[in-house]
């Protein structure tokens, strides 16, 4: 029996028992994510969110008709034809989320050969007081128009409009939330992971253990294994609720399992960095909370990153939870990717490597 394995299993079992008998910890790691899934799943159980958009065609050319088909192909949008006055009146009454106006002259502008000095302007009315709706519609319109412009450049002006993939593509809310909440639960489990060790250091349990032949690597190993076991239980519960209550099935179970392990280990390692800089259990708890809230709200957990203000989006691109959530969404429900899966994995592995080195160097045993 090597030095690492001696005591590993009994200590892990003891950790799990201690954990299960601590009702507070149990609530936060098991009940809390479950509440989140049920709550968010139920709140938005209307299935796919659609935006009703008024379509005002003042051009009446073939190009305008193609353009309309392009927009109609976006499943998020429900187009209603109207004249401009009626459309704006309906928007004021709350029946329309936005209005797109195609001014006269589109057909001629597009059929004229040679580059035009100024691009042809579509008019988009959105309601700034409905942020998420207006944000999404703006994104969609920008995406469709961008698609058209790409098609037009250097090519004959043929208006076959291709809607581009969008972050909000075709996911039911439950399908979006289940992987998100799983990612959030793994994050929470991880950032608070080393708090038992800080508490044990504070209460001199670590010192007592250091007077036994138990290896430090065994101590850390059993702590990490304990967290992984809890992560597995959490995953089964969250995925189970998603499947039973909201019909969210898992597309790639093996990939999801691997990502759960990678995500849990990465955030546990981040938790050890937190523990390296905290002297007491209380300060470690505070620090972990300070870390978890921006992660929770800036990583596309509750709403897609595309909905965030422009200036905040680079922050999301830096946060590890962005990539864990994205990777879990891709492999569980096949949602639109924020980044390719291998980038998600690389970013998480990078965070793991850096935080592992920091905590190995700075974690205080006494």
Partner 1 sequence: MAVDAQPTDTHLDADGDVIVTEGLTKVFEGRGGPLRAVENLSLRVHRAEIFGLLGPNGAGKTTTVEILEGINKSDSGKVSVLGLDPNRDSTQLKERIGVQLQTAALYPNLTVVELIDVFRSFYKHSLPTSQLISEYGLEERKTGLTKELSGGQRQRLSVALAMVNDPELIFLDEPTTGLDPQARRSLWDRVAALKAEGRTVVMTTHYMEEAEQLCDRVAIMDHGRILELGTVDAVVSGHFKERSVRFATVPAFDDAHLAQLRAVTRVAHETDETVLYTTDVPATIGDLERLGERVGAKNLDVAVKRPTLEDVFLELTGRALRD
How does strand 51-57 pair with strand 123-126? unpaired
Report helix angle 32-43 to 173-191, nearest 10: 160
Q: With respect to partner 1, which residue has the nearer C-beta, 21 or 155?
A: 21
Query: Are residues 224 and 267 in contact, defined by beta-carbon separation less than 8 angstroms?
Result: no
Alpha-carbon torsion (329, 334, 340, 343), positive or negative: positive
Report the alpha-carbon distance of residue 205 to residue 200 in Å, rounded. 5
Report the alpha-carbon distance of residue 363 to residue 264 in Å, rounded. 19
In angstroms, what is the minimal distance from the CB of 192 to partner 1?
17
Q: With respect to partner 1, which residue has the nearer C-beta, 16 or 339?
A: 16
Ramachandran angles phi, psi of 81, nearest 5°: -75, 140
In angstroms, what is the minimal distance from the CB of 279 to partner 1?
15
Report the alpha-carbon distance of residue 98 to residue 53 in Å, rounded. 5
In angstroms, what is the minimal distance from the CB of 17 to partner 1?
6
In angstroms, what is the minimal distance from the CB of 226 to partner 1?
13
Q: With respect to partner 1, which residue has the nearer C-beta, 9 or 354?
A: 9
Residues that bind partner 1 (CB under 8 A): 3, 6-7, 9-11, 14, 17-18, 21-22, 203-205, 207-214
Q: With respect to partner 1, which residue has the nearer C-beta, 18 or 149?
A: 18
Report the alpha-carbon distance of residue 219 to residue 224 in Å, rounded. 9
In angstroms, what is the minimal distance from the CB of 5 to partner 1?
10
Q: With respect to partner 1, which residue has the nearer C-beta, 184 or 206?
A: 206
Q: With respect to partner 1, which residue has the nearer C-beta, 209 or 336?
A: 209
In angstroms, what is the minimal distance from the CB of 193 to partner 1?
17
Query: Alpha-carbon dihedral of residues 252, 254, 255, 261, nearest 10 degrees?
Result: 140
């Amino acid at each position: 029996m090597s030095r690492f394995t001696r005591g590993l299993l009994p200590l892990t079992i003891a950790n799990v028992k201690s954990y299960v008998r601590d009702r507070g910890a149990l609530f936060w790691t098991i009940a809390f994510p479950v509440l989140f899934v049920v709550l968010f799943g139920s709140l938005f159980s209307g299935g796919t969110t659609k935006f009703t958009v008024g379509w005002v065609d003042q051009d009446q050319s073939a190009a305008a008709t193609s353009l309309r088909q392009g927009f109609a192909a976006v499943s998020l949008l429900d187009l209603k034809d109207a004249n401009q006055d009626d459309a704006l009146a309906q928007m004021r009454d709350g029946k329309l989320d936005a209005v797109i106006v195609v001014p006269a002259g589109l057909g001629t502008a597009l059929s004229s050969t040679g580059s035009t000095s100024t691009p042809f302007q579509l008019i988009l009315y959105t309601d700034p007081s409905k942020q998420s709706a207006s944000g999404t519609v703006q994104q969609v319109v920008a995406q469709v128009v961008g698609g058209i412009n790409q098609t037009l450049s250097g090519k004959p002006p043929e208006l076959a409009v291709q809607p581009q993939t969008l972050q909000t593509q075709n996911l039911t809310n439950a399908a979006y939330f289940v992987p998100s909440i799983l990612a959030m639960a793994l994050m929470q489990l991880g950032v608070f992971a080393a708090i038992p060790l800080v508490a044990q250091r504070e209460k001199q349990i670590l010192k007592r253990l250091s007077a036994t032949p138990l290896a430090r690597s065994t101590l850390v190993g059993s702590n990490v294994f304990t967290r992984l076991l809890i992560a597995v239980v959490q995953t089964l519960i969250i995925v189970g609720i998603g499947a039973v209550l909201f019909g969210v099935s898992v597309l790639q179970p093996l990939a999801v399992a691997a990502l759960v392990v990678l995500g849990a280990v990465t955030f546990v390692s981040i938790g050890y960095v937190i523990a390296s800089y905290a002297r007491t259990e209380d300060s470690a708890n505070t620090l972990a909370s300070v870390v978890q809230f921006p992660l929770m709200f800036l990583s596309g957990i509750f709403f897609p990153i595309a909905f965030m203000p422009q200036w905040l989006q680079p922050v999301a691109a830096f946060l590890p939870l962005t990539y864990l959530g994205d990777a879990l969404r891709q492999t569980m429900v096949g949602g639109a990717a924020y980044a390719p899966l291998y980038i998600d994995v690389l970013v998480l592995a990078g965070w793991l490597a850096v935080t592992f080195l920091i905590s190995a160097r700075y974690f205080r045993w006494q």
